[in-house]
C-alpha cells in the first residue's frame, strides 16, 4: 500500500481555469491538465520571485518535491504552447 499523499498548501485559487489558442474551436483541441499545485509553484517561483527553498516552505513540501511539481508544470505549459493545445486547470 503506498504512502498517503500529504496535503500541500495552495493559497491561490484561480478565477479563470481554461486557456485555449485563439480562433481554434475547442472541439478539435487536445487539452493539457495543470493542477492547482503546479499553478501555485509557477506563481511562487515566477511571480513572487522566491527561491526554491522558500517556495517549498510556502507550499509545506520538500525542495525536491517542489522541483518535481515545477518541472511538471513547465513541461505541460511548453507542450501546450508548442503543439497549440488548450490548458485546463484542475483541482
Cα-based distances in Å from 37 to 23, 28, 84: 29, 27, 23
Cα-based distances in Å from 67 to 5, 24, 83: 17, 33, 24
Where along the chain do its domains lie? 37-90
Task: Tell which wins on pLDDT, 44 or 2.
Answer: 44
Helix ranges, the chain (H): 36-42, 52-59, 63-83
- What is the average pLDDT across 16-22? 91
Query: pLDDT tens across 35-61, in order?
Result: 999 999 999 999 999 999 999 999 999
pTM: 0.85
Cell of residue 18, nine digits: 481554461
Amino acid at each position: 500500500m503506498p504512502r498517503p499523499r500529504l496535503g500541500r498548501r495552495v493559497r491561490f485559487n484561480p478565477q479563470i481555469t481554461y486557456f485555449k489558442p485563439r480562433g481554434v474551436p475547442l472541439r478539435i483541441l487536445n487539452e493539457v491538465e495543470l493542477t492547482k499545485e503546479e499553478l501555485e509553484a509557477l506563481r511562487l517561483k515566477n511571480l513572487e520571485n522566491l527561491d526554491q527553498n522558500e517556495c517549498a516552505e510556502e507550499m509545506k513540501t520538500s525542495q525536491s518535491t517542489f522541483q518535481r511539481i515545477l518541472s511538471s508544470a513547465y513541461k505541460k505549459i511548453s507542450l501546450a504552447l508548442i503543439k497549440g493545445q488548450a490548458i485546463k486547470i484542475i483541482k
